Structure 1
């Protein structure tokens, strides 16, 4: 059986927990022999995983001395950032591509994938959160510069939040720091544009932030980076290392904790 998750830096202490729900395009052998029936080009793009997000999450975790949990299965196998009752939990069509191995997946296959992949991932994330006093969850994702048939997306980074916007609002203020804005403009070739609940709106009931932070009152934020900016490991490390001090300062503002700002 495929391990459903991987934790980097499990022994790291402190309040931060970094998650990467859509870390990989891996299809375990137990799912249609390890092949969803999609061409390699589709498995390399955003419909299968969040391109570049895991590298950013690991760099961020290293800089914050925080554990990083990433999924070990493609979002097309079953989406760990969806609640168990969400109709998009097991996608049959995504951004213009039909997923052949999911077309006829019924209730029994859905239940099997939940048990093998979705639930073990969430159990591991819950353990990481429970091991800390006042844990802070940072979910790292990426988004495509353009969906099929849609206009280009201008944001280099989006910060998503739902009922609890404390950390997200403080982080957005930090992202407007002149040095960070100038760096983003340099690496992207355009002035910094921050998406407040863009390119998506908030969170869905039962998603990872809802399940592991909102329901317990834990501080949280979800960071989305445009995937053309984090396509290679050097860029992933750069974004993670640049974001870490901004997150520390944002947490210090929310908690009035000078240690968090250090």
Structure 2
């Protein structure tokens, strides 16, 4: 597997691939890394912008790592910034390659043409999904848990009150609503399909869970709660038993 990942030019990294859990933890927006073959590794925006949510999901990789350990589950992480090309978008999605995000212009993307889009798809997006699909297929009763984070407030928008959001598609409400209720029972301020819609054609859950009838969750943590290793460990400790118990109660 290591050699295969090397050939994929660091499209992803995988941890615990032989762990036995039904769960597969995914982290689509794990890093703000820009490959050196894209504008010498520089998208042309300030370091402060590369460090915020427009470039990756702050804290999500650490939370996903610790949650996977607690669930004894494999985990897969993208290894390129969402600003390079977004692995949680379908290939025909207009937001696949962002030129403006939350008030920040992305200079290296401003004039990216169809050939450049195809190059990034071929070298990063498609290999990531190929690896994710192969890992998902390794367990016959696979469940998928996608880990993301959200910023407490977008520029010019109201503050977001939720600590956690549980997202699910209208095409599969077997697990999501039960998880919402379980989180609220813990006393957490929980958004149901907040701060984003739970369904997006061609996204990772659509491709690797809905298309295969796999039970699934998409968990969004407010990123100020998981900005540190301590916060990530705390929320993994909180979430793991709730996830396990909720799946068992649904009988899926």
1:223 maps to which of 211, 219, 224: 219
Secondary structure, aligned partner of 2:76: strand
Report the alpha carbon displacement of residue 30 of structure 1 after superposing the two structures with TM: 1.2
1:40 equivalent in alignment to 2:47? yes
**TM-score, normalised to structure 1's length?**
0.91
Within 2, Cα distance between the matches of 1:53 and 1:172? 19
1:173 maps to which of 181, 189, 193: 181
Secondary structure, aligned partner of 2:21: coil
Secondary structure, aligned partner of 1:115: helix
Contact 2:99-2:105 at 8 Å conserved across structures: yes
Report the alpha carbon displacement of residue 75 of structure 1 after superposing the two structures with TM: 0.1
Any runs of at least 4 consecutive aligned residues in structure 1 with deviations exceeding 4 A, and if so which?
Answer: none
Aligned residues: 244
**1:186 alignment counterpart:** none
1:102 equivalent in alignment to 2:102? no
**TM-score, normalised to structure 2's length?**
0.95
Within 1, Cα distance between the matches of 2:127 and 2:236? 26
Structure 2 segments unaligned to the other structure (5+ residues)? 1-7
Alignment of 1:57-206 (within 5 A): 57-162=64-169, 163-177=171-185, 180-181=186-187, 192-206=188-202
CA deviations on 1:154-181 (whole Å, 9 max, x unpaired) are 001000000112111121122123xx32
Alignment of 1:48-63 (within 5 A): 48-63=55-70
Within 1, Cα distance between the matches of 2:209 and 2:30? 20
Structure 1 segments unaligned to the other structure (5+ residues)? 182-191, 257-262
- What's the RMSD between the two structures over aligned residues? 1.0
Report the alpha carbon displacement of residue 221 of structure 1 after superposing the two structures with TM: 0.8
